[in-house]
Amino acid sequence: MLNLQTLTLNKNATIRDALQVIDNAGLKIAIILDERQKFFGVLSDGDVRRGLINGLHLHDKIDNIVNQDCVYADENTNSQELQKLFKINDIDQIPIIDKQKNFVGLKTSDKLYENQEFVLFISAGGEGLRLRPLTNHIPKPLVEVNGNPIIKHIINRFKGLNIKRIYISINYLGKKIIEFFKGFDSHNFEIIFLQEKQKLGTIGAMSLIKEKINVPILAMNSDIISNFSINDLINDHKKSKADMTVGVRNFEVEIPFGIFGLNKKGFVKSVKEKPTYSFASNSGIYVLSPSLLNTFKKNIKLDATDMIENLLLNNNKVNSFFIHEYWKDIGTHDQLKAVEADLKRIDWS
């Protein structure tokens, strides 16, 4: 039985508090209450991601991103009326509120737990130069993290999802990756290897795909360990109707000195002491609409960032999806050690 208290949060809470409630409850929503513990609004996982994309930080209050105009129902609303509200408003959760504005229940649609259909592309052709000597005789995706290769950690995250096929681009010591998968429990996934003849960049090997694809393509680098919400990413891409979605992370840079703002004549007009600036950084995780496959040129190098630039030049729509969950890339020995330590103490599955 659902414990309603685990879903509630005071309107003066921080974004970090909200994420904890949303993640722990697993319903992609927090119910926000006012000082009198009366219903104030809702805060969805999507609301938080959009707030972070727009420059908010985890320590900021949630009051500016709470949806006070949300759809809710009373205790007498029947099932048929609820289904109509779900459909008309394209929502997955409806809070139930009594006459005294108390939060007394939550109704969820079947779509909330629906697995989105997609294919997966993993770019696994890199040499892993910064991880040498570990990568002298094995490719980077087979470097072990706590006893299992990086690529196994990645693919295990897709168990139970509605994934049609996995493409893995290979180049450096690619035969060893093929050999590894001969003894790997693929969870009934169809795995197809795309053999590069030369370096094709992060997504250029998609030009080697022969099959007809009519579902979104989730593309990611083979050195990323993350527990981002896969279904939410695919669903957000579909709803955006964008040609491509890029997963973004918050990256903060602290300036260790005071910064002066100067006017045109060189006079000081402002001062900031050791400011911190935030940037939306590339996570190495993308979703491509299947129509983009028609734009690839076979065996021509293409990085994901090149495609994004081309899309923007042609006024195509590129969506962003904020990844607030655990995320680390494994490019150096120090990063490898950090991920090994992290995975011993957290559940990122």
pLDDT in tens, the chain (349 residues): 567 888 898 989 999 899 888 887 778 889 999 889 999 999 988 889 888 888 888 888 998 899 998 899 988 888 888 888 888 888 888 899 988 999 988 888 766 566 778 999 999 998 889 999 989 999 999 999 998 999 999 998 888 788 878 999 999 999 999 999 887 766 678 899 999 999 999 999 999 999 999 999 999 999 999 989 898 899 899 989 999 999 999 888 889 999 999 998 899 999 999 988 888 889 999 999 999 999 999 999 999 999 999 999 999 999 999 998 889 999 999 999 999 998 888 765 5
- Does residue 309 share a domain with residue 165? yes
**Residues facing 319 on adjacent strands:** 245
Q: Are 245 and 272 in contact (CB under 8 A)?
A: no
**Residues facing 128 on adjacent strands:** none
- Does residue 179 share a domain with residue 92? no
Whether the bond between 133 and the residue before it is cis, its omega within 30 degrees of 0, is yes
How far CA 341 is from CA of 25, 146, 225, 337, 349, in Å, comes to 26, 9, 13, 6, 15
Q: Are strands 29-33 and 224-226 parallel, antiparallel or unpaired?
A: unpaired
Count of domains forming the chain: 2
At residue 92's C-alpha, the angle toward residues 91 and 95, to 5°, is: 95
Neighbours of 325 (CB within 10 A): 14
Q: Is 46 helix (H, G, I), strand (E, B) or coil?
A: helix
The whole-number pLDDT of residue 349 equals 53
**Cα dihedral 8/11/17/23 (nearest 10):** 40
Domain boundary (113, 137, 152) is at 113
Run of H or E including 56? none
- Does residue 65 share a domain with residue 130? no
- Does residue 216 share a domain with residue 74? no
Query: What is the total residue count of the chain?
Result: 349
- Does residue 199 share a domain with residue 291? yes
Neighbours of 221 (CB within 10 A): 24
- Does residue 305 share a domain with residue 177? yes
- Does residue 130 share a domain with residue 102? no
Q: Are 321 and 247 in contact (CB under 8 A)?
A: yes
- Give me the domain span that covers residue 57: 4-113
- Does residue 94 share a domain with residue 30? yes
Q: Are 213 and 289 in contact (CB under 8 A)?
A: no
- Does residue 133 share a domain with residue 64? no
- Does residue 162 share a domain with residue 79? no
Rounded to whole angstroms, how far apart are CA atoms 48 and 34? 19
The whole-number pLDDT of residue 187 equals 64
Kindly report the CATH number assigned to the domain that includes residue 89: 3.10.580.10
- Does residue 213 share a domain with residue 319? yes
Kindly report the CATH number assigned to the domain that includes residue 133: 3.90.550.10
Domain boundary (60, 87, 113) is at 113
- Does residue 122 share a domain with residue 105? no
Domain boundary (69, 87, 113) is at 113
Rounded to whole angstroms, how far apart are CA atoms 219 and 151? 13
Q: Are 28 and 5 in contact (CB under 8 A)?
A: no
Q: Are 223 and 127 in contact (CB under 8 A)?
A: no
The whole-number pLDDT of residue 183 equals 73
The whole-number pLDDT of residue 185 equals 67
Lookup: tokens for 60: 């900021």
Helical pair 230-240 and 45-53, crossing angle rounded to 10 deg: 70
